[in-house]
Amino acid sequence: MAAGAASGGSAKSDTYAEARTWLLLPAWAVLGIFVLAPVLMMLVYSFLTKEFRGGVIWDFSFAAYDQFFCNRGLFGDEPCSIEWTYINIFWRSIWQAGAATLLSLVIGFPTAYFIATRPEKVRPIWVFLITIPYWVNLLIRTVSMKFMLRDQGPLNDFLISTGLIDTPIHIVNTNFAVQLGLFYSYLPFMVLPIYASVERYNFNLSEAAADLYASKWVTLRRILLPAVKPGVIAGCILVFVPSLGSFLAPDLLGGAKNFMIGSLIEEQFKGNAGNWPFGAAASMILLTMVLIILLIFARQQAKAEKGTG
């Protein structure tokens, strides 16, 4: 992603310059009111007092963050020691999202590379094939995955019929099922940016390395990989970030034991826990983490851009 892309590409002309305020006003209004203002309101709510069965009382309080980070004993009157329950849920989410990202990279990199080295005419068709599943309802895809992985599901039937296993492998309601679900949800996000950078890669460089007796794999590792690194990082972020806050895969494939951030937040608003300030605080912590990741990424991309340009 070029620095230009971060600001939405360059302006092509200034034909409608004097009308631009009016042209942008609807977008500013709708996004300001229904996305930006809600996020700010969420920040406010995270500092309010909870009301039972959902909602808030307008009294300023640190209780939500205190509950998140502090263990104050059975009666809540001890000094703060670190509370691990929620940190562990965040940690598990990072771990799960990381595993899904790695899985996507292992499958996605060869795929992206393969597509980028096809004749120019057929590349868009391959790319289209990879993107179609993304546009299919995430809920339906996750349900399909659950159907596939069930103990009596097609995957186990297939493995048993080939004689590889005798008894069904229990996959649903394990950590691995969640990783598979996340991997399946966001795999196209890994392929597309890597594809874009391999496509721009100048293969004469590999040619030159080969002329100097570098083996193919050395060329891949030492010449191609550094050149396409921005695409690889972009792909990893595009898989990792949505995986981190995902709700459907852990909820449908993970069961109660494999709780992730998304489920923790959902429970505060939809479930019986009903602690809105705490849900708002957990959301703020997740949002902060994501924004920090995106910021570091944007910095790096800008640096890489300066380096090559």
Partner 1 sequence: MARGKNDIKSFPGFLPMTILCLVILYAPLVVVTIYSLNDSNSITNWEGISFRWYADVFTGPESEKFKIAAWNSFTIAIIAATVSTTIATLAATAMVRGGRFRLRTVSFGLISLPLMVPEIVTAVATLIFFNSIGFTRGYLTILMAHIAFCIPFAYMPISARMQGIEDSYEQAAMDLYATKRQAFTKILMPLMLPGIISGYILAFIISLDDFIITNFVKGAGVETLPTAIFGSVKQGIKPNIMAISTMLLAVSIIMVTISYFVSKSDNTK
Closest CA to 53 of 269, 301, 290: 269
Size of the site for partner 1 (CB under 8 A): 99
65 close to 50: Cβ distance less than 8 angstroms: no
Does 228 participate in binding partner 1 (rule CB under 8 A)? Answer: no
Does 122 participate in binding partner 1 (rule CB under 8 A)? Answer: no
Residue numbers 26-85 binding partner 1 by CB under 8 A: 26-28, 30-39, 41-42, 44-45, 55
- To which residue do tokens 């595993």 refer? 99
β-bridge partners, 82: 70
Residue numbers 189-208 binding partner 1 by CB under 8 A: 191, 203, 206-207
E strands in 35-86: 49-50, 56-57, 70-71, 81-82
Gap between the Cα atoms of 303 and 309, Å rounded: 10
Q: Which of 74, 77, 152, 309 binds partner 1 (CB under 8 A)?
A: 152
Q: Tell me, what DSSP letter sits at residue 224?
A: I
Q: Write the CA distances from 162 to 2, 149, 157, 165, 172, integer angstroms.
A: 48, 16, 9, 8, 21
Q: How far is the CB of 195 from partner 1 (least distance, A)?
A: 11
Q: How far is the CB of 163 from partner 1 (least distance, A)?
A: 20
Does 164 participate in binding partner 1 (rule CB under 8 A)? Answer: no
- Which lies closer to partner 1 via its Cβ, residue 56 or residue 230? 56
Taking contact as CB under 8 A, which single stretch among the options 66-74, 94-102, 170-178, 215-223 is the one that binds partner 1? 215-223
Q: Which of 100, 130, 177, 182 binds partner 1 (CB under 8 A)?
A: 130
Does 245 participate in binding partner 1 (rule CB under 8 A)? Answer: yes
Gap between the Cα atoms of 270 and 80, Å rounded: 29
Give counts: helices (H), strands (E), the chain.
15, 4
Does 302 participate in binding partner 1 (rule CB under 8 A)? Answer: no
Does 275 participate in binding partner 1 (rule CB under 8 A)? Answer: no
Taking contact as CB under 8 A, which single stretch among the options 77-85, 164-172, 212-220, 228-236 is the one that binds partner 1? 212-220
- The C-alpha angle with vertex 91 and arms to 186 and 295, in degrees rounded to 5, equals 60
Q: Is 142 helix (H, G, I), strand (E, B) or coil?
A: helix
Does 286 participate in binding partner 1 (rule CB under 8 A)? Answer: yes
Does 168 participate in binding partner 1 (rule CB under 8 A)? Answer: no
Q: How far is the CB of 193 from partner 1 (least distance, A)?
A: 14
